[in-house]
Amino acid sequence: MPELPEVEAVCRKLRPAAVGRRIESASVIRCGGLGIEEAVPGRSIEAVDRVGKHILIRLSGAVTLHTHLRMSGNLFAIPDHRLRGHRARVVLCLRGGTGIVLEDPRALARMELVETAAIDARLRRQLGPEPLSPLFTPAWLGTEARSSRQPAKLFLMDQGRVAGLGNIYVAEALHRARVNPRRPVNRMSPARILSLHGAIVAILEDAVQSAISAYAGPGEFVEAETFPLAVYGREGEPCGACGRTIRRIVQGGRSTYYCPGCQK
Ligand SMILES: [Zn+2]
């Protein structure tokens, strides 16, 4: 399942092939996408933005193709739009003959045409700041943390607090910042908050670089297995930092991995 770093990698790969191009035609094959075929021809792609795991392809005329890869989707440019694979759900044919493909073997990925102002307002209501954006600062994190008694793990998984941080990266960030996943966030010191903020940004940037290099080619979607994980999925193994045995507990119905030596 694509996590935030993979979605960011998708956007960074797509931008050079997409931004500034004009869409000549579109085909939608089993993915919702009402109105796309009729409404997008003649529009230009102005930007490719990301908020959490939502991809926002900004078009001229104040509309956006709101895209979500869900479990198994992928979005990428191809040199010739006729080379679409049989798993293509949406194909945007660009001036010059290139194409952008939303592909998904399971047909769960979604692309919908929405008004730019409406989708931006909706995502702002639903999601906290994007962790790789300038809005995500240590001061902001400290203020949010003081207003919550949630355990650190559940606080960071709450999409209304921080957008798009998944189970893997929360576990890794808490380990790097040496924060116990059960610690209530309103009882964390400013120094701990600062180190947690730094760990989240550093882990995500590392994971984005790893996801970018894991892309063998268009459509070759490799998940973040190549990213070296310190605790996630390593129950019973020794911690690389202190040697204590990594534990697994369940919080909010999902596994949390942590080191009882490093994360007190
Ligand atoms: Zn440890």
Mean pLDDT, residues 113-141 taken together? 95
The pLDDT of residue 222: 56
Domain end residue (candidates: 126, 149, 172): 126
Same domain, 121 and 8: yes
* Beta strands in 11-169, from DSSP E residues, in sequence order: 23-28, 45-51, 54-59, 63-68, 74-78, 88-94, 99-103, 110-115
210 and 185 share one domain: yes
Residue 225 has pLDDT above 90, yes or no: no
CA distance 227 to 221: 14
- Could you list which residues have their CB under 5 Å from ion ligand 1? 239, 241-242, 259, 261-262
**Across residues 46-71, what is the average pLDDT?**
96
Q: Tell me which residues are annotated as active site.
A: 2-3, 53, 254
The rounded mean pLDDT for the chain is 92
**Do residues 248 and 147 share a domain?**
yes
Q: Is 58 part of any domain? A: yes
- For residue 131, is it within any domain? no
CATH number of the domain that residue 199 is part of: 1.10.8.50
- For residue 217, the CA-to-ligand 1 centroid distance in Å is 37
Point out the least confidently predicted range of 114-123, 152-161, 224-233: 224-233
> Is residue 220 predicted with pLDDT exceeding 70?
no
Q: Is 41 left (phi over 0), alpha (psi -120 to 50) or beta?
A: beta
Domain range for residue 16? Answer: 4-126
Q: Kindly state the average pLDDT of the residues 92-120.
A: 94
Q: Is the pLDDT assigned to residue 30 strictly greater than 50?
A: yes
Does the residue 110 lie in any domain?
Answer: yes
The pTM of the full predicted model, rounded to 2 decimals, is 0.87
Q: Are residues 22 and 72 in the same domain?
A: yes
pLDDT attached to residue 76: 93
pLDDT at 72: 85
Q: What is the pLDDT of residue 223?
A: 53
209, 155: one domain: yes
Q: What is the domain-level CATH number for residue 31?
A: 3.20.190.10
Q: Is residue 133 part of a domain?
A: no
CA dist 155 and 144 (Å) reads 9
The whole-number pLDDT of residue 21 equals: 97
Residue 93 lies in a domain: yes
Tell me what the mean pLDDT of segment 146-152 comes to: 96
How far does the centroid of ligand 1 lie from the alpha carbon of residue 208, in Å? 24
CA of 261 to the centre of ligand 1 (A): 5
Rounded to the nearest angstrom, the distance between the alpha carbon of 207 and the centre of ligand 1 is: 21
218 in the same domain as 110:
no
119 has pLDDT over 90: yes
The size of the chain, in residues, is: 264
pLDDT band for position 29 (cuts 50, 70, 90): confident
Res. 169: pLDDT tops 60: yes
Domain count, the chain: 2
Mean pLDDT over 116-126 rounds to 96
Q: pLDDT band at 263, cuts 50/70/90?
A: very high
Q: CB within 8 A of 175, min separation 6: which ones?
A: 230, 231, 258, 259, 262, 263
Q: Are residues 157 and 122 in the same domain?
A: no
Instruction: Examine residue 264 and state whether it is found in any structural domain, yes or no.
Output: no
Domain boundary (126, 154, 171) is at 126
User: Quick one: average pLDDT of 231-236?
Assistant: 96
Confidence of residue 224 (pLDDT cuts 50, 70, 90): very low
Average pLDDT over residues 225-245: 91
Q: Does the residue 121 lie in any domain?
A: yes
